[in-house]
Chains A and B, each alone.
Chain A
Amino acid sequence: MLAASLHYFRMAPRDLAPALEALRRLGIDSVEAPVPWSGHERGAGFVFDGDSAPLLALLEAAAGLGLGVHLRLGPIVGSDLTGLGLPDSVAADRETAARHPDGSPQVVPVPPRWLLLPSCASRAYRERAGAWISAAASAVAPFAGPAGPLRSLILGDAWPFLGRSPLAAPDHHPDALAAWEAFRAAADPDVRARLLPPAPPGAETPAPGRLGLARFAERMYLELLRDLLHVAARAAGDRVPLAVTAPPAGLFQPVGVGALAGLADRVGLDAYGWRERPAALDRDARLVAGTAREPFASFVPVGTPPYLPLLDERDQLHALRSCLAAGLRGVVLSMGVGRDRWCGGLLDEALRETEGTHLYRRLLHGLARSGWFAGRRRPVAALVVPRGYVRGALAAVAELAGPVAPGLAAAAGFDPPAALDPADDGPAGGAWWRWLAGAESALQDLGLPYVLVDDEGPGLPDVPLLLAPTLADCPASLAELLSRRAARGAPTLCGPARPARDLETGRPFAPAVDLSVAADPPDAVSLAGALGMPPSRGPHDRLERAVFLGAAGEPVGLALVHRGTRELPIGPAIEERAAERGPGGAGAPAAGWRDVEEPGLQRAAGRLGPGEVRLLAPMRKETP
């Protein structure tokens, strides 16, 4: 999936085919298009053709050129539209809006206006959103199937969730209050007593009292999304793969990536990152790559919205390479064609290449030529991100920062638990984060390819080494998993405390005697020892070398991520470690490695600068 965004609803139908043709020449194999509810609603019905909403024309044009199409149905598509693509009747409807305790609506700033935040629990909103998804999916269903251009339908958008923290300002819509009651009634009695008070927690409720609210708020969004996925699947006749998206919030997603991955195999990351704060995007990408079955980057910026002009060209290419290096198996470059309310793109509105387009062309053609996406990244270690503790951190920050969106802050590099007391070993404290950050740093010191995993996802990857921050209060499923792994002798490290009782019910666990627990975060030496690696000589170069293997186990790619502070010559950087058969690794190709982005057949050369990400492909005799 090498896709580029194209906003057909901002173009004349006659311009669609030339735009698609121009994008295809750049090396993309499909286009991604948001389908805004507001652009297609006409009175009580919906329209999908005609000059103002030429969705069907887009599909026909793509089919004619052999290009695929991925459609983002929302219901909230964003796309810098007024009201984020919601029709005015929804964006300004107080009846379907989330509410404060006094009945006033919850609002979020969405330039050029303010938007009423729809209540995920509102039955009226769910019905209207369902009708929209059903109509849109039905309209495009004829284009599905092996011969059709429709490749996937992408649902959900958590931007409103990012716009404010539901943990600081819970929804008091009548349907939300009724849902809270039902949620309480269905809960384990101990959970109910500990975490679910009769009324949703108020402004003065301390952080631990908000953990139940955090779970509830996620449940509301997930229920909405699950219903919409069912609607879309039914309307499209189950012939189109469905995908969901996660916002760029580092590890502090308002909805867990694990839960999203439980709804759909394909989980897309909207990857908006800052080069000066690479950790946030890097963690985003590794979390989605480590948790979802089919992870991809559903939004990698090419250009920038005028309201948030923080990314320059280097940031954008870095974001793209970071996503690929982390193992995301597909990218959507946004924008493919320049448009209103966006600065930049691969092509401008007149379909001329922009200043940096040649860099993307080289990368896109290189990825296609090398078969990059045929490979799977083979991590050596997985670092678990316990969702229960993430909720604790979000709850603690909600107490401190009110309704300010922690997800947005996290995307900009403000990790919520970094604001918490590192000595506090409660679920709303910072001790678990200190351990996780320390363990991650040790993995980076060693240069081991690793992923991050949401423990509430569909499963943990089978990796040689598993690391997990744990407190005495620990999610039951995580404690059980760690015990099982330890019992069979698989290297597993946790800390800063041994799991002793269930985070939610408070019930004690049977002690896991085999489990290796470290009060302090592991360092590089202890990790190397756990993996049976020889101790390293000298200072660490902090260069990660992640090998991508094809179906037959052959190397098809090598991603270098340089986190050190000094430049490294690339030749030795490859030869030293990639040629080793380390844990989970693979041998180097006999003919060596070349830069994916270089059209020739020269061996990769030059130097790797601090912070740089480089993608390499094996040199093969048959490579044209």
Chain B
Amino acid sequence: MIAPELRFVRVGPAELSALVRFVAQPPAESRVGDVRHGLVLLTRDGRPAALADLRRGFVPLPAWLARDAAVDREVLRRLRREHGATWAVAVGGAALRRLDAALSRAFDPSGDLLDGLLRLAHEAREARRAGELLFSPALLDDVPIPAAAQVRSAFDLVLPDDRTALFYAFGPQGLSFGLVAEKRRGRLVCVAGHEALGGIAVRGAQWRAAVPRILRETALRFAPPAVGVFGDEAALRRIVFGTEPAALPRALATREVILDPLPPWLAVLLGLDTAAKAAGTARSLLRRFDPLGLAERLDPARLARDLQQRLGVEHPLARALGFDPFAVLVRLQQWRDG
């Protein structure tokens, strides 16, 4: 999926920093914490040996954790709480060697980084089942891991060949980051920053005015866009990190987020097709009898998905992946143990 000659074109350091912030630092009201703040408890024969806090380096084991104590999920949970960490993992040298050996055995010179990472993820799951790896929060245990072929199918669906995908976030000062991904012959061949489009000016809150030109320049300089997500950074963060139940429809309605072009698979995924219309109608009807405004808290996308499921209609991305990516996202947004 990733071309060996993959190019990164004019991705500015400020854009990259903004992207890292976006991905790693959820808004304060999110259940998910800073994903860069993790704990790694190194174990020897299932007993604690050393503790690494990704923010502070190796730190002493707490007094309550004896070196001969068995490490279980409760230990991890307590460590995570005491360090204010977003996640924690307990792992021993044996498990790491097992992952390494599996990766070596499966090495394919034509494979890309993602192939290897998927292989690693499957092995990590096996190691977890064997009790050699523990995660906290426990919900990481059940995140579905698709096969490489499934990811490839989903990728082909999301981004057809000779097309581009755009992801833009804007802040009060204008552009936070803008990325253009280009796909050729089944592979991602280029990731470009906004500068690669020739320096289109974006003025603060007026960013919507720049979208048509961004799309035009992308088509001229790279390939016609297949999907574009443009949005206010704060709204996008609320959507991704799940701080509001109806963040997405609200953002679409207020044009804090613009989907342009909107491919059919995304329309279906987001419930913006007929099912969504049905859901919207339901909400309109509800509103008439809803003096407390409860309808505003209903998520039409969710309603639409429920409707689709009841009608037996599966959205195409879920069919390609073998699971519903939205359901996984919603679950991750809960970020809780147990």
- Chain B residues within 8 Å of A109, by CB: 113, 116
**How many angstroms from the CA of A338 to the CA of B6 in the assembled complex?**
16
Return the CB mask of A334-357 against B: 1 if under 8 Å, else 0: 000010111110001100000100
Which chain B residues numbered 1 to 50 have a C-beta less than 8 Å away from chain A? 2-17, 19-20, 42, 44, 49-50
* Cβ of B179 to closest chain A Cβ, rounded Å: 10
Contact with A401, one of B5, B20, B42, B55 (Cβ below 8 angstroms): B42
**How many angstroms from the CA of A338 to the CA of B13 in the assembled complex?**
11
**Could you tell me if A402 and B13 are in contact, using CB atoms closer than 8 angstroms?**
no
**Could you tell me if B11 and A306 are in contact, using CB atoms closer than 8 angstroms?**
yes
Number of interface residues of A (CB under 8 A): 51
**How many angstroms from the CA of A403 to the CA of B107 in the assembled complex?**
16
- Chain B residues within 8 Å of A419, by CB: 42, 49-50, 52, 58
A99-107, A214-222, A289-297, A582-590: which lies at the interface: A99-107
* Cβ of B146 to closest chain A Cβ, rounded Å: 19
Who on chain A is nearest to B15 by CB?
A343
**How many angstroms from the CA of A549 to the CA of B135 in the assembled complex?**
55
Q: Is A169's CB within 8 Å of the partner chain B?
A: yes
**How many angstroms from the CA of A119 to the CA of B163 in the assembled complex?**
41
- Chain A residues within 8 Å of B17, by CB: 309, 312
Return the CB mask of A71-100 against B: 1 if under 8 Å, else 0: 000000000001000001001100000001
Q: Is B97's CB within 8 Å of the partner chain A?
A: yes
Return the CB mask of A348-390 against B: 1 if under 8 Å, else 0: 1100000100000000000000000000000000000000000
* Cβ of A333 to closest chain B Cβ, rounded Å: 14
**Could you tell me if B12 and A105 are in contact, using CB atoms closer than 8 angstroms?**
no
**Could you tell me if B104 and A106 are in contact, using CB atoms closer than 8 angstroms?**
yes
Contact with B58, one of A102, A404, A414 (Cβ below 8 angstroms): A414
Would A349 and B10 be within 8 Å (CB), given that A100-B101, A277-B57, A400-B49 are in contact?
yes
Return the CB mask of A293-330 against B: 1 if under 8 Å, else 0: 00000000001101001101100000000000000000
Question: Interface majority SS on A: helix, strand, loop or mixed?
Answer: loop
Contact with A82, one of B5, B15, B104, B111 (Cβ below 8 angstroms): B5
- Chain A residues within 8 Å of B191, by CB: 306
Which chain B residues numbered 80 to 105 have a C-beta less than 8 Å away from chain A? 92-97, 100-101, 103-105
**Could you tell me if B107 and A114 are in contact, using CB atoms closer than 8 angstroms?**
yes
Number of interface residues of B (CB under 8 A): 46
- Chain B residues within 8 Å of A169, by CB: 97, 100
Would A303 and B4 be within 8 Å (CB), given that A111-B113, A114-B113, A403-B96 are in contact?
no
- Chain A residues within 8 Å of B2, by CB: 112-113
Q: Is B291's CB within 8 Å of the partner chain A?
A: no
Q: Is B109's CB within 8 Å of the partner chain A?
A: yes
Q: Is B314's CB within 8 Å of the partner chain A?
A: no
**Could you tell me if A113 and B4 are in contact, using CB atoms closer than 8 angstroms?**
yes
**How many angstroms from the CA of A342 to the CA of B193 in the assembled complex?**
11
Q: Is B112's CB within 8 Å of the partner chain A?
A: yes
Who on chain A is nearest to B97 by CB?
A402
**Could you tell me if A403 and B13 are in contact, using CB atoms closer than 8 angstroms?**
no
Interface residues of A (CB under 8 A from B): 82, 88, 91-92, 100, 102, 104-107, 109, 111-114, 116, 164, 168-169, 203, 276-277, 303-304, 306, 309-310, 312-313, 338, 340-344, 348-349, 355, 398-404, 413-415, 418-420
A sample of 12 more A-B contacts (CB under 8 A), given A92-B109, A312-B17, A403-B96, is A107-B116, A112-B4, A113-B112, A114-B107, A164-B100, A306-B11, A309-B19, A343-B12, A401-B93, A402-B96, A414-B58, A419-B50
Contacts A/B (CB < 8 Å), 9 sampled: A113-B112, A114-B107, A169-B100, A203-B93, A310-B20, A341-B6, A343-B11, A399-B93, A414-B52
Please provide the 4 A-B residue pairs with the shortest distance between their CB atoms, ordered closest to farther. Answer: A402-B96, A419-B50, A92-B109, A418-B58
